[in-house]
Amino acid sequence: EPEVTQTPSHQVTQMGQEVILRCVPISNHLYFYWYRQILGQKVEFLVSFYNNEISEKSEIFDDQFSVERPDGSNFTLKIRSTKLEDSAMYFCASTGSSIYEQYFGPGTRLTVT
Amino acid sequence: AQTVTQSQPEMSVQEAETVTLSCTYDTSENNYYLFWYKQPPSRQMILVIRQEAYKQQNATENRFSVNFQKAAKSFSLKISDSQLGDTAMYFCAFMNWVNNNDMRFGAGTRLTVKP
């Protein structure tokens, strides 16, 4: 069964550094999402992406964040200057024709020290 | 704004027993989707079951079923014949029919199935 993949599984970075989290959505999917989950808290929506542009973003998704689909397969989340509070699990998700069914990747654990 | 509330931070159940996880939500919309996601210790989010608000019939998936009460804005998950592998965090989630980009999650319920 096709699945969403994410790399790396765990990223450790120093405060102030840039980090790029990578996702490979399911190949025929059209809508892409990033969520984050701070340890012990609920999953929070960050941004959605369709047709090569952001379609929706939350208040969390400020100027430090950006997303890109650099080629036909990858979907990336960049954090320009990481802060301690960016430490969280970041989930990528994608949907295809069944737009109400989001398939989640396994997540990337980001630790900012 | 839509909010999702899960009032049970933790629950436990004996193996083979039945357990019900509660979820309520707040919305002014008439058409929307509701979901239950499972997050085992591996942290992957797995869709358990979904319900379209326009459907009166409660969704079922094998041992998992929901009790959808639209007027009460309640969406509980029943797990029958609980198995050890059901141990996980369970998140209730809401998605607007029109703006289907923004999924709102509850705080989660940690379910432990005891042998």
Q: How do residues A60-108 score in pLDDT, each as one tens digit?
A: 999 999 999 988 789 999 999 999 999 999 999 998 877 678 889 999 9
Greater model confidence, B3 or A23: A23
Q: Which chain B residues touch A if contact means CB-CB below 8 Å?
A: 33, 37, 42-47, 50, 52, 91, 93, 95, 99-108
pLDDT for res B99? 64
Instruction: Provide the mean pLDDT of chain A.
Output: 92
Which among B45, B101, B108 is the nearest to A55, CB-wise? B101
Report how many Cβ contacts below 8 Å link chain A to chain B: 54
Are B101 and A48 within 8 A, CB to CB?
yes
User: Mean pLDDT across the stretch A9-29?
Assistant: 95
Greater model confidence, B81 or A2: B81
Signed CA dihedral, A42, B52, B57, B16: sign only: negative
pLDDT for res A93? 93
pLDDT for res A40? 80
Q: Which of B12, B10, B2, B13 is nearest to B35 (CA)?
A: B2
What is the residue-level pLDDT of chain B in tens, covering all 115 positions?
Answer: 678 999 999 999 999 999 999 999 999 888 899 999 999 887 788 899 999 999 989 999 999 999 999 999 999 999 999 999 999 999 999 988 776 667 889 999 999 999 9
Q: Which of B67, B55, B53, B66 is nearest to B96 (CA)?
A: B53
Which among A35, A41, A100 is the nearest to B100, CB-wise? A100
Are B45 and A91 within 8 A, CB to CB?
yes
Which chain A residues contact residue B91 at CB under 8 A? 42-43
How would you class B113 by CB atoms within 10 Å of its CB: exposed for 0-12, middle for 13-18, buried for 19 or more?
A: buried
pLDDT for res B101? 65
Which chain A residues contact residue B7 at CB under 8 A? none
> Are the beta carbons of A93 and A33 closer than 8 angstroms?
yes
Exposure string (b/e) for A28-49, b if CB count within 10 Å is 16 or more?
ebebbbbbbbeeeebbbbbbbb
